[in-house]
Amino acid sequence: MTQTAAPRGLSSQLVLGVIVLVAMLIGLNFTVLKFALDHTTPLLLAGMRTVIGSSVLIALALARGERFPTRAADLANIFAVGFSITTVSSGLLVFGVDKVPAGVASLLASTMPLFTAALTFLLLGTAISRLGAIGLTVGFAGTVVLAAPSMSGSAATVGILALTASALAWAFGNVYMKWKDFSRVSPVMLVGVQLAMSAMVLVPFALVVEGTGETDWSTGLLWPLLYAAVPANAVTFALLATVATRATPTQAAASAYLIPVFGVTFGALFRDERPGLLQVLGGALVVVGVYLVVTSAARLAQRSAAPAIADAPASQR
């Protein structure tokens, strides 16, 4: 199918390059989180990165002349989607990364488009094409295969369940954003406020549950924390927001299946993680399943000029 050309100012090749860069930055984030977790606890890490990320995004939005949302309905909707995506999903994500290898975590997190497609069908009644149904079947089968080798230990089992629940919570927030009207708030301000609201929940909760006794306030924590909050969060979202109107649905969807590829690669390079045969097979099935789902959604979007069901900005992670 012929894709629409990018508007003047950014070539199609440059837009696709930005998408690949975003996938690399987010894929590396899973490994970076492992380094940060060597110095602190999961919930506190999740809370701290929301504080930094929200500060950067809100400052960026205000610098661009955007207004802070004041309508009660907008704030309620932002809180609802933020609680699902940047509070529950983000907290469970970091908690799960602490229990399993970074590459496995990135693959399990990448199942979000599968849950999004399933929930879109179940909650909004949106039809799924035959290609999308095949993708869901293959992807969820891959998730089962991927999780099986890690089920031997209780810590790994908890991590697998946490990461799966994180992907489900993220998908629900994605579907919620399609259900409610967020048009009065810019994408950058939207995520900035989401993160700020999440910080108000995550930080106090982490201080009560975990405290700070296990946190090493050193540069060993500072640098991975800053990366997780800024390049892997604020910067990637700003890049996606910049090219959102220029990328074709197929280009935008590419990040969904490129992220786990980079996640596994960086885990092997920097944490010496060597996935087993079943994990390789399961990961391949997940990537293929996600590819089929987002490709199906992109084709539908190109036909109807509507957003693809799996095109949520992954950098909110």
pLDDT digits (tens, 9 = 90+) for 105-160: 998 888 888 898 888 888 888 878 888 889 889 989 988 887 776 556 667 888 98
Name the strand (E) or helix (H) holding 225: helix 219-229
Closest C-alpha to 255, from 26, 98, 11: 26
Q: What value does the mean pLDDT of the chain take?
A: 84
Where do we find the tokens 């979007």? 301
Q: Is the pLDDT of residue 236 over 90?
A: no
Helical H segments across 38-129, by residue range? 42-63, 72-82, 90-97, 102-109, 112-124
Q: Are 33 and 266 in contact (CB under 8 A)?
A: no
DSSP state, 244? T
Written as six digits, the tokens of 155 are: 């810590």
Predicted confidence (pLDDT) at residue 307 exceeds the cutoff of 80? no
Q: At 42, which amino acid appears? A: P
Residue pointed to by tokens 């205000």: 62
For 181-231, the pLDDT digits (tens) are 888 888 889 989 999 999 999 999 999 999 999 999 999 999 999 999 999
CB atoms within 10 A of CB 86: 32
Rounded Cα gap, residues 293 and 186, in angstroms: 27
Give the residue with greater pLDDT, 252 vs 88: 88
Distance (Å, whole) CA 173 – CA 120: 11
**Per-domain boundaries in the chain:** 12-316
pLDDT computed for residue 63 by the predictor: 94
Q: pLDDT value at position 247?
A: 65
Q: State the pTM of this model.
A: 0.84
d(CA 46, CA 229): 9
Percent of the chain with pLDDT over 90: 41
Phi, psi of 280 (to 5 degrees): -65, -45
Instruction: Determine the pLDDT at residue 3.
Output: 44
C-alpha separations of 313 from 19, 32, 67, 95, 171 in Å:
11, 20, 21, 21, 11
Output the pLDDT for position 4.
42
